[in-house]
A and B are shown apart, each in its own frame.
Chain A
């Protein structure tokens, strides 16, 4: 079993749709959590950090459930420009970072 598992996707949604991605992690020593976005084999870029209390940035909402070892990302009102691969990342305090395999989102007109 992988340390970080994401929804396999791909997700194909129409513009304006709401889409949710899930990610589970197995290392209980995990301390920090992030969602990254990666476009077409370019470098990943931070989308948002994930906090225990949940956090929102415009159309994006991230949530963390430490008890269930589960992270989610919700995208509301999808835009064409949201088409990308979304990576869940889990870090330990010791510096180890583990990426999920990514979920590909395609937003269609």
Chain B
């Protein structure tokens, strides 16, 4: 089944404790992207990657890192999470412009 898989789906953590949200797609898509969704602010792009070893900042990259060492994986790294990074995070992939989203990761930073 074609899908985008994110883990963890839910996480409660504390300020400053490094965490990684993994994202994997099995559709051989070149393009992958991370978004966060907050009430009243819609979905905002954090980082995106047009292909392996190519990443670019989206609209809200501060406090996040990404890497794209393999085509299928695009992890989102929070080196030192802060409470303002509490949000719902979506990973997506695409080849033709249509974005396929993972189910989302709800992150709470205390």
Binding site for B on A (CB under 8 A): 32, 34, 36, 41-46, 49, 87, 89, 91, 94-102
Q: How many residues of B contact A (CB 8 A)?
A: 24
Binding site for A on B (CB under 8 A): 31, 33, 35, 37, 40-45, 48, 50, 56, 58-59, 88, 90, 97-99, 101-104
Q: Is the CB of B35 within 8 A of A99?
A: yes
Taking the closest CB of chain B, its distance from the CB of A29, in whole angstroms, is: 15
State the majority secondary structure of interface residues on B.
Answer: strand
CA of A49 to CA of B98 in the docked complex: distance in angstroms?
A: 8
CA of A94 to CA of B58 in the docked complex: distance in angstroms?
A: 11
Q: Is the CB of A95 within 8 A of B90?
A: no
CA of A36 to CA of B90 in the docked complex: distance in angstroms?
A: 14
State the majority secondary structure of interface residues on A.
Answer: strand
Q: Is the CB of A46 within 8 A of B99?
A: yes
Q: Is the CB of B42 within 8 A of A44?
A: no
| Residues of chain A within 8 A of B56, CB atoms compared | 94-96
Taking the closest CB of chain A, its distance from the CB of B50, in whole angstroms, is: 5
12 of the cross-chain contacts (CB-CB < 8 Å) are A43-B102, A44-B101, A46-B99, A49-B97, A87-B43, A95-B50, A96-B45, A97-B45, A97-B48, A98-B59, A99-B44, A101-B41
CA of A87 to CA of B44 in the docked complex: distance in angstroms?
A: 12
| Residues of chain B within 8 A of A32, CB atoms compared | 97
